Amino acid sequence: MKTIFKYFHNHYKAHFNWVLYLYFGLMLAACFYINYTFNFETKYINPSSQSQLKRFFAYFLFYSFAYFSIAIPQALWGKNNYLREREFWIKSVFFVGVLSLMAGFWVYQDWIKALFQKNHEHWFLIALGSNLKSLFTILLPLLLFKWWQYGRKTSLYGLTRKGFEAKPYLLMLVLVLPLLAWASFQSGFLNVYPVFQPWNETPTLGLTTWQMFGIYEVAYSWDFINTELIFRGALVIGMAKVMKEHCILPMVAVYAFLHFEKPMVEAIGSIFGGFILGVIALYSRSILGGIVIHLCVALLMDSLAIGQYLFF
């Protein structure tokens, strides 16, 4: 844990500016109010009637606002004016575009419905697709972009064991486990976890519901890897060369916007979680810690939910 505390101490010394953090908090508070009062994202950014192309551009403007409304003032107030760097604009626009492609890509649902006739087949395959689409919308574009920039000599935006120490993350999980166990006994927990509930599903494609659950969990886990790759990998480690320690807050703002269709408490929690994982990724130059935390917490929540269903 000393290593992680050192990361935060170094970041505080290098980056903290109370005016910037006040602006950051007020800006996000205003965006939270607008989104959760007027249902902004669902109504205006991602309506079901919107075409694929319009949805992509809507998300691009949505996430660009989150990113640049922090990145631009931060550069003007700070000592590192990365706005003059061509690399900043190429990378930031591309990375925001990749995230927008992932968020707005829903045409696969029409493909599935055209190929399969039964509704329960639709639901299961669409659930898998929602998690696996990041293979083509995040992993592949980032891989090609990294090869274009740096060739194959460097890791894929922190997807490396170099700089990774497992002990601090395992200790974090031990500390958070009692909180997760307590949460699992709260009313409504089984309404949310696991996301795929085998006891409520219909067997399909020759699979039992528990086999379907196992397949779903693999796809569900994969999505967390790509989430870390785009946020802590591309938007932190990928941007650190030009932005240095100033890459954290713009990433956190976009990460909060990603959660705007989820409960407000979860979206608020994403601010703190995104900041913590971002600082760790910046100084360790590895995203494996974030992947471990994300995956283990998600799978623990599902395991506790199954335990609640089977035994309590």
pLDDT at 45: 94
Instruction: Name the least confident of 30-34, 182-186, 227-231, 279-283.
Output: 182-186
pLDDT at 77 (0 to 100): 86
**Is 233 or 123 the better-scoring residue by pLDDT?**
233
Residue 50 confidence (pLDDT): 81
For position 173, what pLDDT does the model report?
Answer: 85
Give the pLDDT confidence score for residue 168 in this predicted structure.
78
Greater pLDDT, 294 or 68: 68
Q: What's the pLDDT score for residue 72?
A: 96
Q: Is the dihedral of CA 50, 52, 53, 59 positive or negative?
A: positive
pLDDT reading at 79 higher than 90: no
**Confidence band for 103, pLDDT divided at 50, 70 and 90:** very high
Q: Which residues neighbour 123 within 8 Å (Cβ) at sequence distance 6 or greater?
A: none
Indicate if the pLDDT at residue 191 is higher than 90. Answer: no
- Beta pairing partners, 204: 207
Q: Report pLDDT for 297.
A: 86
Does the pLDDT value for residue 98 go beyond 90? Answer: yes
- The whole-number pLDDT of residue 150 equals 78
In this predicted structure, which of 77-86, 166-175, 242-251, 274-283 has the lowest mean pLDDT? 166-175
- Report yes or no: 228 and 287 within 8 Å, Cβ to Cβ: yes
Residue-level pLDDT at 237: 96
**C-beta separation of 270 from 255 below 8 A:** yes
Residue 184 is predicted with a pLDDT of: 79
Mean pLDDT of 155-162: 85
Farthest CA pair distance, the chain: 61
Per residue, what are the HEC states of the chain?
A: CHHHHHHHHHHHHHHCCHHHHHHHHHHHHHHHHHHHHHCHHHHHHCCCCCCHHHHHHHHHHHHHHHHHHHHHHHHHHCCCCHHHCHHHHHHHHHHHHHHHHHHHCCCHHHHHHHHCCCHHHHHHHHHHHHHHCHHHHHHHHHHHHHHHHHCCCCCCCCCCCCCCCHHHHHHHHHHHHHHHHHHHCCCCHHHHCCCCCHHHCCCECCECHHHHHHHHHHHHHHHHHHHHHHHHHHHHHHHHHHHHHHHHHHHHHHHHHHCCCCCHHHHHHHHHHHHHHHHHHHHHCCCHHHHHHHHHHHHHHHHHHHHHHHHC
Share of the chain above pLDDT 90, in %: 53
User: What does the mean pLDDT of the chain come to?
Assistant: 90
- Flag whether pLDDT at 179 surpasses 90: no
* pLDDT at residue number 29: 98
Residue 162 CA: distances (Å) to CA of 37, 232, 239? 44, 15, 19
Partners of 214 in beta bridges? none
pLDDT of residue 312 exceeding 90, the answer is: no
Report, as an integer, the average pLDDT of 100-128.
86
Q: In the predicted model, is pLDDT for residue 96 greater than 90?
A: yes
Q: Domain extents for the chain?
A: 2-311
Determine the pLDDT at residue 219: 93
pTM (2 d.p.)? 0.90
